Structure 1
Amino acid sequence: MSDVSTVAFSVFLFLFLLVTVLGFAAARWRRAQALDNLDEWGLGGRGFGTFIAWFLLGGDLYTAYTFIAVPALLYAGSAIGFFAVPYTVVVYPLIFLFLPRLWSVSHRHGYVTPADFVQGRYDSRPLATAVALTGILATMPYIALQLVGIEVVLQVMGIGSEESSWLVNHLPLFIAFAVLAAYTYSSGLRAPALIAFVKDALIYVVILVAVIYLPTQLGGWEAIFAKATDSFASFNADNADAIAAGTAAPQAAIPGPLAHWAYASLALGSALALFMYPHSVTAVLSTRERSVIRRNAALLPAYSFLLGLLALLGFVAIAAGVQVTNAQQAVPQLFENEFPDWFAGVAFAAIVIGALVPAAIMSIAAANLWTRNIYKAFLNRDATHAQEARQSKVASLLVKFGALAFVLFVTTQYALDLQLLGGVWILQTFPAIVIGLYTRWCHRWALFAGWAVGMAYGTLVAYQNPKVGQPGTHFGSPLNEFPFTDTLVYIGLTAVLLNLVVMAVLTAVLRAMKVDEGVDHTRPDDYAADLGDERVEAELDPFETPAH
Structure 2
Amino acid sequence: MIDNVNGVVFGVFIFLFLLVTVLGFAAARWRRADLDSLDEWGLGGRGFGTFIAWFLIGGDIYTAYTFIAVPATLYAGSAVGFFAVPYTIVVYPLIFLFLPRLWSVSHRHGYVTPADFVQGRYDSRGLALVIALTGILATMPYIALQLVGMQVVLQVMGIGTDTGNWFVKDLPLFIAFVVLAAYTYSSGLRAPALIAFVKDTLIYIVILVAVFYIPSQIGGWDHIFSTVTNGFADFNTENADAIAAGQAAPKATMPPQPLQWAYASLALGSALALFMYPHSVTGVLSTRSRSVIRRNAALLPAYSFLLGLLALLGFVAIAAGVKVDNPQQSVPQLFEDQFSPWFAGVAFAAIVIGALVPAAIMSIAAANLWTRNVYRAFINRQATPKQEATQSKLVSLLVKFGALVFVLALSKDFAINLQLLGGVWILQTLPAIVIGLYTRWMHRWALFAGWAAGMAYGTWLAYGVKSPVQDHFGGPLVNFPGTETKVYIAVVAVLVNLLVAVVLTVVLRAMKVDEGVDQTRPQDFHADAGDPGVEEELHPEAPAHA
**Shorter-chain TM-score: what band?**
over 0.9
Equivalent-residue separation in structure 2 for 1:373 and 1:398 (angstroms):
17
- Is structure 2 residue 8 aligned with structure 1 residue 7? yes
Equivalent-residue separation in structure 2 for 1:299 and 1:149 (angstroms):
26
| Counterpart contact for 1:96–1:294, Cα < 8 Å | yes
Percent identity at matched positions?
Answer: 77
- Residue 440 of structure 1 aligns with an amino acid whose one-letter code is R
- Is structure 2 residue 152 aligned with structure 1 residue 156? no
1:81-230 equivalences under 5 Å are 81-230=81-230
In structure 2, relative to structure 1, the CA distance for the partners of 1:469 and 1:145 (3 Å cut) is closer
Equivalent-residue separation in structure 2 for 1:466 and 1:315 (angstroms):
26
Equivalent-residue separation in structure 2 for 1:256 and 1:484 (angstroms):
21
The CA deviation at 1:545 is 3.0
SS across alignment from 2:349: helix
| Counterpart contact for 1:134–1:425, Cα < 8 Å | yes
Is 130-139 or 411-420 further displaced after alignment? Answer: 411-420
SS across alignment from 1:284: helix
Aligned residues: 545
The CA deviation at 1:537 is 1.1
When the two chains are superposed, the root-mean-square deviation of aligned CA atoms in Å is 0.8
| Counterpart contact for 1:121–1:520, Cα < 8 Å | yes
- Residue 16 of structure 1 aligns with an amino acid whose one-letter code is F
In structure 2, relative to structure 1, the CA distance for the partners of 1:396 and 1:469 (3 Å cut) is closer
The CA deviation at 1:120 is 0.2
- Residue 491 of structure 1 aligns with an amino acid whose one-letter code is I
Equivalent-residue separation in structure 1 for 2:161 and 2:505 (angstroms):
59
Equivalent-residue separation in structure 2 for 1:185 and 1:119 (angstroms):
27
1:479-498 equivalences under 5 Å are 479-498=477-496
- Residue 482 of structure 1 aligns with an amino acid whose one-letter code is F
The CA deviation at 1:384 is 0.2
Out of 529, 536, 543, the position equivalent to 1:538 is 536
SS across alignment from 1:489: strand
Aligned to 2:25: 24
The CA deviation at 1:164 is 5.0
TM-score (norm 1): 0.99
SS across alignment from 1:480: strand
CA offsets 1:278-304 (integer angstroms, 9 cap, x no match): 000000000000000000000000000
CA offsets 1:157-212 (integer angstroms, 9 cap, x no match): 00123435222211111110000000000000000000000000000000000000
The CA deviation at 1:244 is 1.2
Aligned to 2:499: 501
The CA deviation at 1:418 is 1.9
- Residue 403 of structure 2 aligns with an amino acid whose one-letter code is A
Equivalent-residue separation in structure 2 for 1:412 and 1:54 (angstroms):
32
SS across alignment from 2:367: helix
- Residue 82 of structure 2 aligns with an amino acid whose one-letter code is F
Equivalent-residue separation in structure 2 for 1:360 and 1:389 (angstroms):
16
SS across alignment from 2:434: helix
| Counterpart contact for 1:79–1:252, Cα < 8 Å | yes
| Counterpart contact for 2:163–2:169, Cα < 8 Å | no
CA offsets 1:43-71 (integer angstroms, 9 cap, x no match): 00000000000000010000000000000
Aligned to 1:448: 448
| Counterpart contact for 2:40–2:539, Cα < 8 Å | no
The CA deviation at 1:469 is 6.5
Equivalent-residue separation in structure 2 for 1:506 and 1:167 (angstroms):
52
SS across alignment from 1:475: coil
SS across alignment from 1:221: helix
**Which structure 1 residue ranges, 4+ long, deviate > 4 Å from structure 2?**
none
- Is structure 2 residue 424 aligned with structure 1 residue 424? yes
Equivalent-residue separation in structure 2 for 1:257 and 1:469 (angstroms):
25
Equivalent-residue separation in structure 2 for 1:422 and 1:239 (angstroms):
32
Out of 507, 510, 535, the position equivalent to 2:508 is 510
| Counterpart contact for 1:152–1:329, Cα < 8 Å | yes
- Is structure 2 residue 290 aligned with structure 1 residue 260? no
| Counterpart contact for 2:160–2:168, Cα < 8 Å | yes
The CA deviation at 1:547 is 2.4
| Counterpart contact for 1:246–1:469, Cα < 8 Å | no
SS across alignment from 2:478: strand
Aligned to 2:243: 243
Equivalent-residue separation in structure 2 for 1:547 and 1:303 (angstroms):
36
